[in-house]
Structure 1
Amino acid sequence: MGEPVNPDITAVQLPEVPNGAGATIQTPERADLRPEHINDAVIRLAGNSQDGIQSAGAFLARLAGRSDQDVMTYMTIPSTISGGPSIFQVRIGTGEVLSAGDEADFLVAFYQHSYQDHLSFLKEGGVLLYDSDNVEPDLDDKRFVYLGVPITGLTVEALGGTAKDKGKNMFVLGLIAKIFHLDVDKLKKLIGEKFAGKDESIVNTALMGFQAGYNYPVGNFISTVYKFEHVEKKPGAPDQITMDGNQALAYGLLAGGVRYGAGYPITPWSSVMEILRSELPKYGGLFVQSEDELAAVSTALGFSLAGYLPVTGSAGPGISLKTEAIGWASMAEMPIIIINVQRGGPSTGLPTNVEQSDLHQAIFGGHGDSPRVVLAAKTVEDCFYIAVEAAGIARKYSTPVFILSDTSLATRIEAFDEPKLEELMQNPHPDLTTRPDSFKPYDLNRITQHVPPGVRLMDGKYPLVTGLEHDEMGHPTGSPKLHMAMTAKRRTKLQKLAEELPVPKV
């Protein structure tokens, strides 16, 4: 974050001066304070999950995206319903940002445990902003710059006693906006968009908390404030969009022509489901919240049977429960997308922690010889495009396709170029074209294409769809020779897919 701030300067609150009427006034802010221009900063907010630090951090990340800056975030949340210690880290840069950062330039500590647990992540010369109502730092440690602000008390003063636990995040957002010379108008617009549709008093309370923090005279207590270098947008450059990995997956599915799906809530998959529940009806579709995981995948397969490409998803424990029905999809050669937003395991494991340990489950998680396609996203941007790719593969090869993401990608916010949707959008409608004479849905000499109910077959012979091994018309068979031929057929089509894939760049 530029040159280190002088670690010998410790910011201590100046005394407030009585104004003669019993109230107190703050000394005016220094007029000679000029911002230091920086290219990159890592800001870590440390508190409890109930403090709304994820919302404050998300505002910073989305502001960066709208300002044509690069951004990447990292967050942790407790797995207990009652909440607990949590962080949100955002890295903003005027150049390419490839990680959320190992060390923080700027640490906000809401509580004593936040200070104690995260001071080791603060760079030497970095700034510690702490709530002086709750935190007592070791001011003899001259490695850092200390900025103590009575955040809790000033939030209560600005918003009233009932808002102290719900407005501190907005007060801190205002402080950060002041220290880093952020675009206040854009931030206020983001706040308004976040709470759009809610009672007007909620928006006003959030804006009041933000303005109170922004008005605090931080310039009296630190020797340096900061300003990100201006990013000149190149002529013809695309606009940026800012979202997290789960949002990218959901909107990628929409671009891929997915209009139906079913799921059951589980961390960290749930927000994909919530977005689809909201967005799919706008496109004439439907997302069903089922009573359990088996019902969810079975409902999704019902949509597939009707001729539509569906999606279902979960985390590792839920995928385990879906396994039998996914095997049915492999045998019946039904197109379906299965998303696994991975978390720590086995069993209930670590519901809110990062772990990429379900690859074996995705590739081999089923009985019998049932090869499947497995795609894994590497970035938030990749989450969008890999969902579009999965839709194309599932349709073309009439097969289940797994998408692997993880908790880190699910919650990480990044900015990337707006996709060219007119080039990506796929047809969501089922293929209802008439099938010619002698049509065989499971023809051994071609790739299966599922025939939705209602399609006219000229020879009048309608196929069956079953999880039993079958002949070329879908009728059950116990023939070892035919079983070997069908098994080879299901494997061969994925070998053809492998031949079409480009060689990975190393």
Structure 2
Amino acid sequence: MSTATAAPPSSSTPTTLRNAVIRLAGNSQDGIQSIGGFLARLAGRTAQEVMTYMTIPSTISGGPSIFQVHLGSGAVLHEGDEADVLVAFYKHSYENHVAALRDGGICFYDTADMGPEDVKHERGIIHIGVPFTSATVEAVGGSTRDRGKNMFVLGMVTAVFNLDKEKLVGIVSRQFGKKDESVLRNALLAFDAGFAYQVGDIEKFAFVPGEATSGHRISADGNQMLTLGLIAAGVRYGAAYPITPWSSILETLRLELPKYGGIYVQAEDELAAVSMTIGAAFAGHLAITGSSGPGLSLKMEALGYASMAEIPLICVNVQRGGPSTGLPTSVEQSDLMQAIYGSHGDTPRIVVAPQDVEDCFYIALEACKLAKKYSCPVIILSDQALSSRIEAFEEPDLDKHWVEPELDLSTRPADFKPYPLDAITRHAPPGSKMAGGKFPVSTGLEHDEMGHPSGSPKMHTLMTAKRRNKLVQLAKELPLPEIHGDQTGDVLVIGWGSTYGPIKESVDRLRLEGHKAGALHLRHLHPMPDGLDGLFKKFKHVVCVEMNDSGLYGYGQLATLLRASLADPRIQSVCKTDGLAFRIREIVTGVEKIMAGAE
């Protein structure tokens, strides 16, 4: 915990904090995700910053699970290397996660599952036994042994950290208000029991008030913000098939799009889903499909068709650990090459990636604009960490960003060509009036400017160049990303996707240690903006930090692309494949090893 001022344990004045990391460890059926979600939403209503992290079992039967909440009054850029407080619901929760506690941290454990003889008296950790289960049963009554103790814990944490009880009760009430009245009553009874429980002679804490903002703050996860961004950008149609961790986007679009005159279909399989989406896009609508890595593999044949026919559509890939079924509930960034090169043949498409939860909204807006402008598929590479991570930020201005879609059925002139060699493709949806009397053809076969199939070697060469040159043009138009930290110096640390916060924090640590370090984050992965080589030349070392394998030649996927495009041997990699987000010390240690080895 980062303290601004400190008071002795016996003082009635709480110790004030800048930030704290709370890890809740139990089983997936214990509702610990609900506790973390309530705490995260509270941060969005109290001008505090928050970042969450959770692990959930990939089996239907459930199993061990954690939810970690990093609360702070200043910028929170990562989930937290170490926990300040551990709440262990079971003995196995304690044994598996006590090592994650910092020296001198606090551990609350359920006395129904373990006793003082089970704790490890080391590293100055303070152990406090609390009867989560029996106290909940006493408060609520009935057979509630495994129900409601999460709300008891939430009340206890609220008291220990002097959180805004009134606002938190309001959040809980809205969550359970639509259920049977007894559900809300029992939840609040358990919460009040936890809030009133005397945890012993330990410090109480209070966060430094966060800085007030002019706009309304919200807290949400990445999948929610991606969905909102897609709707705001004018998406009204599409189809998909369920898969973790993409499915919540499918479910929300299926429920919400009919409210705006659209429709979202749960198809029978991935190939059917992308094909339906291509059909909607060909009909003139902005359409979206999505999946995770295994599902994207199945979509590739049809995505190749979309590249050949130059159909504008959005495809979201919420990456998870692979290959095959892999690690369905763990994070990885191993689908970059798949997104760019996954289809047979040369299939140019645009690939972008959000850097945090808030950016999921804005990357969706940008992806939709790019798809329409360049008439090609755009793949959004999110990941499991972003999909479930909750962050607090200022609510987007929907009045500013909202796009009301319009179907363009205007008359096309007599000389209209859907695939002109000297211009970007603009399709005429079925129903458009054709002044020339001939409706153009769309096909997966190579074609001429009217879309008629062509086996001409010259035409194939020209059309291949036409499809490629759209991305060449885009690369020239993209702005160079800004460098955080030193603009020249010892090392430039590069990343993409959910590594944004950890890399930024790591560079700040490197600078405190005396290194001249900068951080550069790429949102546009294919094409990348022109001019990156000029930025790289300002640093002695260039290190790509990414969650994928270093591969046969020792470089991660982004590093491989950069080395191939820039022929810069200084580009090195720090990679990991454990299914967990990067810790700050992992990045700092990896970067320092590269610098020391090169020197």
Out of 259, 266, 283, which is 1:289 matched to? 266
Quickly say closer, same or farther: Cα 1:350–1:5, change in 2 above 3 A: farther
The residue correspondences of 1:354-373 to structure 2 (distance < 5 A) are: 354-373=331-350
The residue correspondences of 1:415-494 to structure 2 (distance < 5 A) are: 415-494=392-471
Report whether the alignment pairs 1:70 with 2:70.
no
Contact kept, 8 Å, 1:75 with 1:411, in 2: the verdict is yes
The AA in structure 2 aligned to 1:475 is H
CA apart distance, 1:391: 0.3
Measure the CA separation in 1 of the matches of 2:146 and 2:479: 52
Aligned partner of 1:381 in structure 2 is 358
CA apart distance, 1:163: 2.5
Out of 228, 252, 255, which is 1:275 matched to? 252
Out of 21, 27, 33, which is 1:48 matched to? 27
Contact kept, 8 Å, 1:33 with 1:223, in 2: the verdict is no
The AA in structure 2 aligned to 1:410 is S
CA apart distance, 1:2: 4.4
Q: TM-score, normalised by structure 2?
A: 0.78
Can you give the 5+ residue segments of structure 1 that lack an aligned partner in the other structure? 10-29
Contact kept, 8 Å, 2:73 with 2:211, in 1: the verdict is no
CA apart distance, 1:405: 0.9
Out of 118, 122, 126, which is 2:101 matched to? 122
Aligned partner of 1:347 in structure 2 is 324
Aligned partner of 2:82 in structure 1 is 103
Percent same amino acid among aligned pairs? 59
RMSD: 1.9
Contact kept, 8 Å, 1:110 with 1:135, in 2: the verdict is no
CA apart distance, 1:347: 0.6
Alignment deviations for residues 321-346 of structure 1 (CA, whole Å, 9 cap, x no partner): 00001011111111111111111111
Contact kept, 8 Å, 1:243 with 1:414, in 2: the verdict is yes
Alignment deviations for residues 327-383 of structure 1 (CA, whole Å, 9 cap, x no partner): 111111111111111111111111111111000100000011111100012111111
The residue correspondences of 1:292-303 to structure 2 (distance < 5 A) are: 292-303=269-280
Contact kept, 8 Å, 2:410 with 2:433, in 1: the verdict is yes
Report whether the alignment pairs 1:167 with 2:144.
no
CA apart distance, 1:308: 0.5
Aligned partner of 1:204 in structure 2 is 185
Report whether the alignment pairs 1:143 with 2:120.
no
Alignment deviations for residues 33-76 of structure 1 (CA, whole Å, 9 cap, x no partner): 33211111100001111101011001101101110101101111
Alignment deviations for residues 217-259 of structure 1 (CA, whole Å, 9 cap, x no partner): 23xx13311111122415xx22212111111111111111111
CA apart distance, 1:482: 1.0
Aligned partner of 2:17 in structure 1 is 38
The AA in structure 2 aligned to 1:488 is A
CA apart distance, 1:198: 2.5
Quickly say closer, same or farther: Cα 1:441–1:4, change in 2 above 3 A: closer
Count of residues paired in the alignment:
480
Out of 291, 294, 302, which is 1:317 matched to? 294
Contact kept, 8 Å, 1:72 with 1:414, in 2: the verdict is yes
Aligned partner of 2:561 in structure 1 is none
CA apart distance, 1:433: 1.9
Out of 90, 94, 103, which is 2:69 matched to? 90
SS at match of 1:461: coil
Measure the CA separation in 2 of the matches of 1:437 and 1:142: 81
Contact kept, 8 Å, 1:5 with 1:125, in 2: the verdict is no
Can you give the 5+ residue segments of structure 2 that lack an aligned partner in the other structure? 484-599
Measure the CA separation in 2 of the matches of 1:93 and 1:426: 35
Q: Which has the larger radius of gyration?
A: 1
Measure the CA separation in 2 of the matches of 1:490 and 1:272: 30
Contact kept, 8 Å, 1:171 with 1:209, in 2: the verdict is yes
Aligned partner of 1:153 in structure 2 is 134
Alignment deviations for residues 273-306 of structure 1 (CA, whole Å, 9 cap, x no partner): 1111122122111111111111111111111121
Report whether the alignment pairs 1:240 with 2:217.
yes
Measure the CA separation in 1 of the matches of 2:377 and 2:145: 49
Aligned partner of 2:371 in structure 1 is 394
The AA in structure 2 aligned to 1:248 is M
Out of 466, 469, 473, which is 1:496 matched to? 473
Q: TM-score, normalised by structure 1?
A: 0.92
CA apart distance, 1:5: 13
Measure the CA separation in 1 of the matches of 2:293 and 2:411: 40
Contact kept, 8 Å, 1:298 with 1:325, in 2: the verdict is yes
CA apart distance, 1:439: 0.7
Contact kept, 8 Å, 1:5 with 1:224, in 2: the verdict is no
Aligned partner of 1:262 in structure 2 is 239
Aligned partner of 2:595 in structure 1 is none
Measure the CA separation in 2 of the matches of 1:4 and 1:440: 67
The AA in structure 1 aligned to 2:104 is G
Contact kept, 8 Å, 2:4 with 2:17, in 1: the verdict is no
SS at match of 1:165: coil
Q: Relative contact order, CA 8 A, sep 6+: which one is greater?
A: 1
Report whether the alignment pairs 1:226 with 2:205.
yes
Aligned partner of 2:162 in structure 1 is 181
SS at match of 2:93: helix
Measure the CA separation in 1 of the matches of 2:5 and 2:235: 51
SS at match of 1:63: helix
Measure the CA separation in 2 of the matches of 1:39 and 1:261: 44
CA apart distance, 1:160: 2.9
Measure the CA separation in 1 of the matches of 2:329 and 2:353: 19
Contact kept, 8 Å, 2:51 with 2:77, in 1: the verdict is yes
CA apart distance, 1:112: 0.4
Measure the CA separation in 2 of the matches of 1:75 and 1:187: 21
**Segment of structure 1 superposing worse, 160-169 or 481-490:** 160-169
The AA in structure 2 aligned to 1:501 is L
Contact kept, 8 Å, 1:172 with 1:210, in 2: the verdict is yes
The AA in structure 2 aligned to 1:319 is L
Measure the CA separation in 2 of the matches of 1:459 and 1:197: 58
The AA in structure 1 aligned to 2:28 is S
Aligned partner of 2:497 in structure 1 is none
Contact kept, 8 Å, 2:42 with 2:168, in 1: the verdict is yes
SS at match of 1:39: strand
Measure the CA separation in 2 of the matches of 1:223 and 1:247: 38
Aligned partner of 1:25 in structure 2 is none
Measure the CA separation in 2 of the matches of 1:204 and 1:391: 45
Contact kept, 8 Å, 1:109 with 1:135, in 2: the verdict is no
Measure the CA separation in 2 of the matches of 1:142 and 1:454: 73
Contact kept, 8 Å, 1:128 with 1:147, in 2: the verdict is yes
Alignment deviations for residues 53-101 of structure 1 (CA, whole Å, 9 cap, x no partner): 0110011011011101011011111111111111100011111111111
Report whether the alignment pairs 1:403 with 2:384.
no
Measure the CA separation in 1 of the matches of 2:322 and 2:121: 43
Report whether the alignment pairs 1:214 with 2:214.
no
Contact kept, 8 Å, 2:221 with 2:386, in 1: the verdict is yes
Alignment deviations for residues 152-186 of structure 1 (CA, whole Å, 9 cap, x no partner): 11112222343322211111001101111111111
